[in-house]
Amino acid sequence: MSVLCITGIAPVTAQAVNAISDCVTLGGYLVQPAITVATQPTLQYIFSIPIASDLNQMFQLGVGLPILCWLTSWAYGSLINFFHPNNDQKN
């Protein structure tokens, strides 16, 4: 089981080190390897404006998927109502 190692300010106790044995301790503190820190997203990356192609794709999914779901449910309902027994009666 892999455990996420978090850098901390408080010293690590023996019970915590035993529970998260995958973490590396240095002077009683948890440390992260450089590759882990380098691959974590930053706030600047999270809140940055997406590129135009991503925005286009998100817009198409956001508009097209609800319309497709609505049309599918409408067609399904129309098909069921076509075979409803009340439609067989003549006026």
At 2-34, the pLDDT tens digits run: 444 554 444 545 444 455 555 555 555 666 677
Q: Which of 74, 53, 56 is nearest to 64 (CA)?
A: 56
Euclidean distance between CA atoms 26 and 77, whole angstroms: 65
pLDDT, residue 70, reads: 97
Q: Are 7 and 31 in contact (CB under 8 A)?
A: yes
Domain ranges of the chain: 1-41, 49-84
pLDDT, residue 6, reads: 52
pLDDT, residue 59, reads: 94
pLDDT, residue 18, reads: 52
pLDDT tens profile 38-88: 777 788 888 888 899 999 999 999 999 999 999 999 999 999 888 877 766
Backbone angles phi, psi at 29, to 5 degrees: -115, 150
